[in-house]
Structure 1
Amino acid sequence: MPLLDKTELLDQLAERLRQSDRLAHRAEADAREAARSLATESEKKEDGRAAIEYGSLATGQAQRARRVLEELKALSDFQDSGLPSFSRKSPVALGAIIDVSTEDDEGFAERTFFLLPAGAGTELTGPGGDGFLSVITPASPVGRALLGRRAGDTIEVTLAGEVREWTVLEVV
């Protein structure tokens, strides 16, 4: 595994979350405006239903924005507490970057995960655009399976209803 600057990766994730927050706020504002314009332009029953739907969409986008802000705070608090360092024999814990070997119908492959308190499902780009890391959280099936494991351990992960066997190659 090439040397990865965890601070850079956390900054990259925070920027992606801030971008998601901006998009959610913009979508909320657009949906609220659509709901207002439909409600005032016509008294037709169909337009009234559309206005209600746009209002619900706006509420959903506001909730999305709140969740993103909660994730940003969790990420900031984690970073402020100091990034943990791991040795070759360390167990997987929050803040670890984990390389695993996977096997499927297409053969063997390697995947890299970054175990964080927020940002699940986000794909980060390695230094210089080299490689990708998937953000996982302790609440995810993969995160739960990896917690406490060490290099050399084998885990079973169920993805899309299929049990897969992965081997932890390295923890940093």
Structure 2
Amino acid sequence: MDKFLLQQQVLQRLAEDLQQTEAAARAAHETATHEENIAENKYDTLGLEAAYLATGQARRAEAIREAMAQWRQFRPPAYDASKGIQIGALVCLVDADDRQQQLFLGPLGGSMKLVSGDQIVQVISSEAPLGRALLGKCEGDEVSLQIASARQTFEVLRVH
């Protein structure tokens, strides 16, 4: 699996998300400033609500731009077993039911599922609970994660 191609897919998906978010922000701004939405009394809050929505969408767009900048600068290093799993690692985990999952540990803002060949790759950051648990682990190590009242345990099968 090619990390560079995965990185390009992440950037493409982020660009698509940015377009959608910017369009939503423009629509909310137009609604907020449209003359028909001027408040006639204290209970008429459509314009105010649209303004809050536009602000939130603008913040989301900025977060996506920051994530894109991080992903553009990101250069996934080769796996070094002496350091264990680091950002940039492509990891294959197996659970107690023998189900495997592929993870690509990347910078912030890239939490998504990608398709590479016939495999699904989950992109996570080191800030995600599973990402934090993986840092420093090596092939054959066990990773345990508490999610609500359930404990999940995985074995690190392969790292690239």
**What TM-score does the superposition give when structure 1 sets the normalisation length?**
0.86
Aligned partner of residue 74 in structure 2, secondary structure: helix
**Would you say 1:32 and 2:29 are equivalent positions?**
yes
User: Aligned pairs, how many?
Assistant: 159
Higher helix share: 1
Which runs of 5 or more structure 1 residues have no equivalent in the other structure?
none
Residue 86 (structure 1) aligned to one of 79, 89, 92: 79
Contact 1:145 1:156 in 2 (8 A): yes
The superposition leaves residues 40-63 of structure 1 with CA deviations (integer Å, 9 ceiling, x where unpaired) of 225433774110000000000000
What letter matches 1:154 in structure 2? E
The superposition leaves residues 48-97 of structure 1 with CA deviations (integer Å, 9 ceiling, x where unpaired) of 41100000000000000000000011111113xxx311267761111000
Query: Bigger CA drift: 90-99 or 4-13?
Result: 90-99
Percentage identity across paired residues of the two chains: 29
How far apart, in 2, do the equivalents of 1:34 and 1:166 lie?
Answer: 48
Q: CA deviation at 1:5?
A: 0.9
How far apart, in 2, do the equivalents of 1:43 and 1:96 lie?
Answer: 53
How far apart, in 1, do the equivalents of 2:134 and 2:89 lie?
Answer: 10
Give the aligned CA root-mean-square deviation in angstroms.
Answer: 1.8
Q: CA deviation at 1:168?
A: 0.3
What letter matches 2:22 in structure 1? H
How far apart, in 1, do the equivalents of 2:15 and 2:123 lie?
Answer: 16
CA distance 1:89–1:152, change in 2 (3 Å): farther
Which runs of 5 or more structure 2 residues have no equivalent in the other structure?
none
How far apart, in 2, do the equivalents of 1:47 and 1:123 lie?
Answer: 43
What letter matches 2:23 in structure 1? R
